[in-house]
Amino acid sequence: MRSVRRCAVRSLPFVMLGALGCGDEARMEVAIPFEARVGSEPFACGRTYSGVGTTGTTYEPMDFRVYLHDVRLVTEGGEEVRLDLTEDGRWQVQGTALLDFADKAGQCTQGTQATNLRIVGTAPEGRYTGLRFKLGVPETLNHLDVSTAPAPLNDASLYWSWRSGYLFTRIEGRTPGLPGGHVMHLGSTDCAPPPEGQTSGTAGCTHGNRPEVALDSLDLETGKVVLDLGALFAGSNLDANADVPNTSVGCMSQQADPDCAEVFARLGLPHREQATAPGAQTFIRAE
């Protein structure tokens, strides 16, 4: 795709600017496939997986949806270049995308039949060797009214409230120990009341919880991004829930919930219950 077309649609003064600014800058379309796995197995609703977590339990998916934003390509020289996500009215809006690995098979009864396994955008033509992004919804879009927000930010099943914002991940599955389902809901927590005179939103959240994912060797022609639940839950016991009052079965990002400590470590996020500071995230890798 050539930049000329992008410039041509702008209003007159901007056409001049555009002609100067991007007239000779060619752009290319980039589509990056994402794949969900549980260890070495492809993820699919309706399947069951064995050997998951510290108890090697059997895990049966109930949901798997993830928001991401702030998508950047990395040049050979290590420079970051923004990947402008293409707005499609369904999965991508204002630089934020929803990945949806769950159809309606098996226990995945809560979400949509439709899935979305890639991101699509444009970037200046060039040679890129890496991809970086953040999980979650950016702060500027995180406190919208879900009922009127543009897709994919209009799904009430991926929304906590105005104050707390969206569920950045909705990953759920049942195990023999937790037959009602283990949940992994990532999102911003400890969000303050709205500022004076405002009735919705927040004055700010103490824990943003937006993991940075840096995949510094991804081949844009042949590569893909893999989200591995086996890796995400490697340190977690999915058969039991920590016996702490007022915390979730699994992890809903609460600082008070010990179940969050290990899974936050795998996401490269700090958590009150961690013994040591976390390293880089290990949930997502390039292949």
- List interacting residues with other proteins (CB under 8 A): 90, 107, 109-114, 145-148, 151, 154-157, 159-164, 172, 178-183, 189, 193, 197-200, 245-246, 248-250, 252, 254
Give me the least distance between CB of 134 and other proteins, in Å please.
23
Give me the least distance between CB of 200 and other proteins, in Å please.
6
- Given the complex with other proteins, which of 215 and 238 has the nearer CB atom? 238
- Given the complex with other proteins, which of 57 and 254 has the nearer CB atom? 254
- Given the complex with other proteins, which of 117 and 146 has the nearer CB atom? 146
DSSP character string of 177-243? S-TT-EEEEE--EEEPPPPTT--SS-S-EEE----EEEE----TTT--EEEEHHHHTTT--TT----
Give me the least distance between CB of 50 and other proteins, in Å please.
19
- Given the complex with other proteins, which of 27 and 65 has the nearer CB atom? 65
Give me the least distance between CB of 175 and other proteins, in Å please.
12
- Given the complex with other proteins, which of 220 and 249 has the nearer CB atom? 249
Give me the least distance between CB of 133 and other proteins, in Å please.
23
